[in-house]
Amino acid sequence: MLTEELNQTVLALPADERLELARRLVESVVWPATLNEAVAAGIRRLEDVASGRTKGLTEAEFRAALQ
């Protein structure tokens, strides 16, 4: 399967399945312990936003925060 086809297939999955796939992919990579903890925290934060537990930024808020 070509990368673009794989991307389209994965992006068509429901959000919870994409999050689970992302988690498995990250866990499949061997990381030093401290980096592994940071990645796990990042995944938890992404899940919080995706599930609605945490409100994400709008594009305008994001761009304003960069300046």
CA 17 to chain centre: 11
Q: What is the pLDDT along the chain (67 residues), one digit of tens a residue?
A: 588 899 999 999 998 899 889 888 887 876 666 777 888 888 899 889 888 898 888 899 989 999 8
- The token duo for 11 is 């992006």
Q: Structural domain boundaries of the chain?
A: 14-66
- Contact in structure between 50 and 15 (CB atoms under 8 Å): yes
Quote the pLDDT of residue 55.
Answer: 87
